Amino acid sequence: MLDVNLLRKDLAHVIARLETRASPQTFLDVERFQRLEAERKTIQTETEQLQARRNALSKEIGQRKGRGEDASAQMDEVGGIGARLAASAERVDAVQRELAAMLMALPNLPDEGVPVGPDETANVEIRRWGTPPTFDFAARDHVDLGAPLGLDFETGAKLSGARFSFLRGPIARLHRALAQFMLDTHTGEHGYTECYTPYIVNRDVLEGTGQLPKFKEDMFWVSRGGDEESPEQYLISTSEISLTNSVRERVLAADALPIKLTAHTPCFRSEAGSAGRDTRGMIRQHQFDKVEMVQIVHPDASAAALDEMVGHAETILRKLGLAYRVMLLSTGDMGFGASRTYDLEVWVPAQNTYREISSCSNCDAFQARRMQTRFKNAQGKNDYVHTLNGSGLAVGRTLVAVLENYQNADGSITVPAVLQPYLGGTTTLRA
């Protein structure tokens, strides 16, 4: 959530930054905001005047009583002021709730250094690593390569519908090996604490990280036994949600920062806005696994933490020997809560292109303000932390990349050296 003081002090600047994402009318009803702000200021001024008048009357009442004089008129006026103050407080609360609802619908402001553009066409390539493999045979895609190894979309569709998969045998073992390798690297080399989190969370948790209220249609939600009166609950679309919210409504000690958390979880996305995209294979599924990284840091450290997190995701790709590139996303391509985002895109031979495999974002204080997560600063005052999140990596897409980049002419898959210990020393996967 944006700091409302930003809008009060320089509304034109906020609109200009939002406009780099999309039309400002999409995000902020300026006329309504200004009307509510004017009403809030008027009530605040009237409240201060009434409080001053009540204080003066209270003093006068005391003086009159001390002199033995009648103070009933002053006391009646104080009673009337009390009723007016109560009504003003009730109206201020209503105005503040309206303002808060408006702020909850606003995306984060892009960092000044983010390239301005409408979509992914304005993203900027930062660097590349590795050389895409060449084959002396016709490269096959992961669907054809995976089928003999246990990748089964037919059973997944029979059980749950389109965009679900069923893994068995060698392919299931490879999938598990990838997740374990990622967790071991992030915990053993990068200093993250491994977590196991709920896969179902409450509505206010999703509001904390920004998935709600705007993106409900992208979520799967559940009810308990069909009870319509039970609270709304949702399947997580990423463990960023549960990891980041683990510090919600807390005031942290400054020396507890940074907090670095990681988890391997399934992720559930309805993909409401992606009809017709990547319908073949594992690139875009309703259920997929991901190893997530989250950092909770001091505001002064978040820019460096983002670079560090990108490096942690890169380490996984480098250890796997997969060619990739790093892209700085434009204002029109960033997520709702991000102020700055880097995507890592891995080479996918069958598509002859790079595809996103990790997204690392700095959210500044945007999520912390929604979650009310603060720390004691050097002056002893409560200040908002900064939050960051990144994929380290998407397990299914990494599986796709390993299958396609390490394929052999006979359809077997050479197992990357770093994964062999997780597969009992197996060097090649065969049907």
Catalytic residue ranges: 269, 284, 356, 359, 397
Query: Is 239 known as a binding-site position?
Result: yes
Number of neighbouring beta carbons within 10 Å of residue 162: 10
Residue 229, annotated ligand binder? no
Is 356 marked as binding a ligand?
Answer: yes
Which three-class secondary structure state does DSSP give residue 375?
strand
The pairing of beta strand 200-202 with beta strand 193-195: unpaired
Residue 19 annotated as lining a ligand binding site: no
**Any known ligand binding at 238?**
yes
Compute the distance between CA of residue 313 and CA of residue 262 in angstroms, rounded to an integer: 12
Residue 102 tokens, joined:
């408006």
Residue 359 annotated in ligand binding: yes
DSSP class per residue in 264-291: EEEEE---TT-TTSS-STTSS-SEEEEE
Whether 270 and 218 have beta carbons less than 8 Å apart is answered as yes
Is 249 within any annotated ligand binding site?
Answer: no
Contact 280, 348 (CB under 8 A): no
Angle at 13 between CA 8 and CA 16, to 5 degrees: 130
CA angle in degrees (0–180, nearest 5) for 383-387-388: 155
**224 annotated among ligand-binding-site residues:** no
Q: Of 180, 281, 201, 299, whose CA–CA distance to 244 is shortest?
A: 201
| Interacting residues of 220 by C-beta distance below 8 A, sequence separation 6+ | 234, 235, 268, 269, 270, 286
- Is residue 203 annotated as involved in ligand binding? no
AA identity, residue 393:
L
Cβ contacts of residue 57 below 8 Å, gap of 6+? 74, 77, 78, 81
Q: Find out whether 240 is annotated in a ligand binding site.
A: yes
Can you read off the two tokens belonging to residue 424?
A: 């009992």
Q: What span, in angstroms and rounded, lies between the C-alpha atoms of 317 and 264?
A: 17
Q: Indicate the DSSP class of residue 134.
A: -
358 known ligand binder? yes
Please list the residues that pair with 158 across neighbouring strands. Answer: none
CA–CA dist 394, 243 (Å, integer)? 16
Question: Whose CA is closest to 109, among 10, 29, 32?
Answer: 10
Are the C-beta atoms of residues 295 and 240 closer than 8 Å to each other? no
Q: Which residues contribute to the annotated binding site?
A: 238-240, 269-271, 292, 356-359, 389, 391
**Bind-site residues for ATP:** 269-271, 356-359
Binding site feature residues for L-serine: 238-240, 269, 292, 389, 391
